[in-house]
Structure 1
């Protein structure tokens, strides 16, 4: 099929899409429509000889129809949309299929429950506690008793919304609690943890696992600028957004209220000219949806962390693929309780940042997923 015209926001990425997917028209078409994850999976499927198509499927429940990737195996069908992969008997529609990870995703949906489960199995997690929206005073006392900075976050996945790290007592902690409480009904407070050299202190290491033992690492960081002593923050941000669009296909980082407030904490405004080499923080969290940067060229870390993630996923009944986010206090030393923390476990992880990173070469996670999917033909 001919490739569809690229969405205007994807035009800067078009040369890279064409370079990657010119021999797979379906993947190129999906990429130009903005379905980058489906594009990577479609290309891997075609290269591995698995029939692939991308029909538009009614979502039901009054929701608009959506483009999905369909992979037809000998006896099964696999449907992909975003990070969600479901499978069923040949010819089954998506609604009749089951998640690739079975019921394991239910275990990871609620972060406080997941953390308790991980702790009982000997995995290292930050100290934390969930509080009802009406228990703000108790939450503030807990933070005070902890004796160090805390991270406020929603108790369930939020793509980085509402996550505010590095807070101590005061108005900022109260405001962060109230923001999450107003939407979620409860709030999770956790011990704030930080990484150490050779990784940046604010770096999160995401380890993607695909059964039986494939792992791929990347490093995620909150977005920041580096001053050149000549241009104001606004010009540096515009240049950065242009490069971000051409490398990653991700939307621009906007000078919204959160960004302006963070600049103010650094005694800056969009018109200020940072000194040459000065780092300017733009976001507090590393999620791509919040403007975070993904790097695939991270320093070598001790292999025991990857082994620990494999152990984690093998402990979840039915898990076949997922990703875990870690903070490493001793990246070069063997993992042990207290020198690393598992922040989150995701059984429907995005893979776009592996294929279109801000820094480093692409990592073909899609190929590993498609190999796993190909093994389902005999299930």
Structure 2
């Protein structure tokens, strides 16, 4: 066996509306060998991965997969279940998976879901290796590899606060984009987006965060605003630390002036020696230490979101409870086995680490790690109470006095934080600070919230939900209108028409097309930008108020969608193109793949499909939301029935495009007034106009706005570059079009035949990844339609030999009836165009189906300029 390919489909995809891994494998000579015929395979597999016994498989009961193994199943199926179970062993509960034949005799796709991309990729490769070893009868040890994967996967995990935010955002239906590999999330799309890292939102300024990190500056600001804080000084060395401790008066606190998570903090110091030792602990983080007077009492964290106290916890430092048998070190080891404790922030509690700060505290209390505490004796291992150093939290939200709430809200406002963790020390949180001598110790930006979500005792508080509500109040939008456009032909023009309508409606539109990414009127990136990465570029732009995303087959099949749910999904048509690629062998396969665009639509959104196309109609039942059919024929049976069923339709009647229901017919625009249709001659642009009208109707755009947009939409370089652009060159015309398959050629030729012309000269070519039969059919059509033909090839031959596509086209042209003397092969398209223009006479039309529009335009402009120079010289001679 061998791995052929591995793809990560991060968005909604043709297999699932959740992320999946697509592992393509070649089973080679074992493609038809059932597991029951491989010696000891089944027994060794279950012994190695006993969790497989729990898999139900298609049998529907626990042990169903084992039953399949015993009867004999194919290896791709086993690989699927093994990859799933490895993820389960790593702590990820994943159930979705399937294995499907791909091509040839032995190529299979193993599809399985995931939540952690690194873990999933490694699980697939590990499953492959396990099967390979077992087939050969070799021993394989998986423990170390699982540990390695676990460590790598942990690097990709969101922190607990960010994870909680993500969960609540998804519950609220808010789309999420993770920025980079750290814990920064974009919530929402376009102009409505917000960004957050842990609990630090984009509302907080850098200055506010810097102030909160500077403990001394925070102390000064709060004091100036009449808020009770400890007296403090900054010491730059241990001698200053001792001097300032004596000035303030013992007991004191020593901590880094800009620390976090309680690192390097020492409390309740009572002599110079302890201050020196504490300062040395600070030096591991910074040279400047904050010396403060020690405030007696319990330690609390009060969480403020906007102008409300959302939660409060009493924080208890890491400690061990004696049993009269074990040493302090052993008690720590026992506590660290608590399943609620993990490394860093991976679990509700953090494992207790032995370090110099702990040893300093033990020495101060005349203890060592080897001492054995008595039964019930509490030994504190930290003076600071942070969860990150092993502390625990008890919810006290309902006990916080109103005066303390007001002070905490004011403290957050003084610093400038919309989300803040206020550290309060007081003997009684239910009394005003003025009564207890308590004080605010710190104000923290990006406060951790796991203590509130998972208190050791008390009521859990869903802080993440409150933060989401503060970012997106009920009346505030979180997503912009999104239109996704797919199909075989017409995608780009339909995308541009919808964009034009949205601009007319006042939107600042982001658009992806085969020619580039556009924001407003600016092309920010040239090229074929119809995949998920390009879609995200638009959705991450903070100025965009609406998005129109051309969505091509390749991106859908190989990477999934780059957005969550659209307001409108369009399928323009399904015709013979790209068959034989990526497992898409038939038009039914192609229709199924493209149907993802009408599946990934909001419940309140609309799926728009072509009622004149049988393959579009075949997938209409897959559409989510509401359905709009469009047709050139108002008597189309499907249209008539859909109206009777209460649906929306867009059709043509007496040259007028109507939006119709069973209650009304709304005239929108005469197709002869749409410049892109060339007076109605270009049937494909008539269809594209229908699709655009349907999309705009689905978005609730007024018919007058739609009319104004379409009557001003032209097939020129500005509005629709590369799509039936017509240029006057000398005394003939050149048409530049992106037709690249039979249907594209057919629609263009039909339009040209309605125009009064002298001769029609074709510069033709087809991409090399089309089927031989498809290339041949384009040749036949061209031979039947053109008076003279120049055959060229794309520079990107897509796996073909030089001249191979040209020869296929030539054979088709001859079968179509072209005179061999009026046909020429010239592989470079700019040279072929130049030759076509050189033989053109008055009234002729030259049409070039281009690969590289820039080269075509350059050749045409050079020819035109040369002609102008010749004419100028002739005038001079005369």
Tell me which interval the TM-score lies in, with the shorter structure as reference length: 0.7 to 0.9
What are the superposed Cα offsets for residues 358-377 of structure 1, whole Å, 9 maximum, x if unpaired?
33342100000000111364
Tell me the equivalent position of 2:332. 237
Deviation at 1:117, TM superposition (A): 1.2
Find the partner of 1:69 among 169, 185, 191: 185
Change (3 A) 1:274 1:182: closer
Change (3 A) 1:219 1:248: farther
Matched residues in 1 for 2:245 and 2:261: separation? 24
Tell me the equivalent position of 2:466. 368
What are the superposed Cα offsets for residues 184-213 of structure 1, whole Å, 9 maximum, x if unpaired?
232210001111xxxxxxx31111111132
Find the partner of 1:51 among 161, 166, 175: 175
Task: Indicate the larger mover: 344-353 or 175-184.
Answer: 175-184
User: Does structure 2 retain, via aligned residues, the 8 Å contact 1:297–1:359?
Assistant: no
Change (3 A) 1:260 1:178: closer
Where do 4+ consecutive residues of structure 1 move more than 6 Å? 29-32
Change (3 A) 1:157 1:256: closer
Tell me the equivalent position of 1:344. 442
Deviation at 1:273, TM superposition (A): 2.8
| SS of alignment partner, residue 220 of structure 2 | helix
| SS of alignment partner, residue 207 of structure 1 | strand
Matched, 1:276 2:276: no
Matched residues in 1 for 2:365 and 2:471: separation? 48
Matched residues in 2 for 1:181 and 1:237: separation? 26
Tell me the equivalent position of 2:353. 254
Structure-to-structure mapping, 1:84-233, within 5 angstroms: 84-86=200-202, 99-101=203-205, 103-133=207-237, 136-181=238-283, 183-195=285-297, 203-233=298-328
What are the superposed Cα offsets for residues 98-131 of structure 1, whole Å, 9 maximum, x if unpaired?
x545642233231111111111110000011112
Find the partner of 1:334 among 423, 432, 457: 432
Change (3 A) 1:340 1:44: same
What are the superposed Cα offsets for residues 199-241 of structure 1, whole Å, 9 maximum, x if unpaired?
xxxx311111111324211111211111122333334222321
Tell me the equivalent position of 2:393. 294
What are the superposed Cα offsets for residues 310-340 of structure 1, whole Å, 9 maximum, x if unpaired?
12223344x3221110001343322328722
Task: Indicate the larger mover: 215-224 or 76-85.
Answer: 76-85
TM-score, structure 1 as length reference: 0.77
Matched residues in 2 for 1:100 and 1:112: separation? 19
Matched residues in 2 for 1:363 and 1:259: separation? 31
Change (3 A) 1:291 1:7: farther
Matched residues in 2 for 1:156 and 1:366: separation? 26
Tell me the equivalent position of 2:758. none
Change (3 A) 1:253 1:332: same
Change (3 A) 1:261 1:178: closer
TM-score, structure 2 as length reference: 0.35
Matched residues in 2 for 1:117 and 1:111: separation? 10
Change (3 A) 1:26 1:49: farther
Matched residues in 2 for 1:250 and 1:312: separation? 28
Deviation at 1:277, TM superposition (A): 1.2
Matched residues in 2 for 1:336 and 1:271: separation? 43
User: Does structure 2 retain, via aligned residues, the 8 Å contact 1:143–1:168?
Assistant: no
Change (3 A) 1:268 1:150: closer
Matched residues in 1 for 2:88 and 2:226: separation? 48
| SS of alignment partner, residue 371 of structure 2 | coil
Larger Rg: 2
Query: Which protein has the bigger helix share?
Result: 2
Change (3 A) 1:275 1:185: closer
Two-structure CA RMSD over aligned residues (Å): 3.4
User: Does structure 2 retain, via aligned residues, the 8 Å contact 1:248–1:356?
Assistant: no
Deviation at 1:245, TM superposition (A): 1.7
Task: Indicate the larger mover: 120-129 or 107-116.
Answer: 107-116
| SS of alignment partner, residue 357 of structure 1 | coil
Change (3 A) 1:225 1:291: same
Find the partner of 1:310 among 409, 428, 431: 409
Find the partner of 1:358 among 440, 456, 472: 456
Deviation at 1:297, TM superposition (A): 4.8
Deviation at 1:138, TM superposition (A): 4.0
Matched residues in 2 for 1:179 and 1:214: separation? 34
Task: Indicate the larger mover: 102-111 or 217-226.
Answer: 102-111
| SS of alignment partner, residue 117 of structure 1 | helix
Tell me the equivalent position of 1:79. 195
Structure 1 unpaired stretches of 5+: 16-24, 58-64, 87-98, 196-202
Matched residues in 2 for 1:179 and 1:271: separation? 22
| SS of alignment partner, residue 282 of structure 2 | helix
Structure 2 unpaired stretches of 5+: 1-17, 21-83, 94-113, 120-152, 479-541, 543-878
Matched residues in 1 for 2:353 and 2:162: separation? 26
User: Does structure 2 retain, via aligned residues, the 8 Å contact 1:73–1:377?
Assistant: no
Deviation at 1:48, TM superposition (A): 1.8
The structure showing larger relative contact order (alpha-carbon pairs under 8 Å, at least 6 residues apart) is 1
Matched residues in 2 for 1:249 and 1:341: separation? 28
Deviation at 1:52, TM superposition (A): 2.3
Deviation at 1:274, TM superposition (A): 1.6
Change (3 A) 1:68 1:142: closer
| SS of alignment partner, residue 272 of structure 1 | coil
| SS of alignment partner, residue 218 of structure 1 | strand
Aligned residues: 337
User: Does structure 1 retain, via aligned residues, the 8 Å contact 2:249–2:293?
Assistant: no
Matched, 1:325 2:427: no
| SS of alignment partner, residue 45 of structure 1 | helix
Matched residues in 2 for 1:218 and 1:7: separation? 34
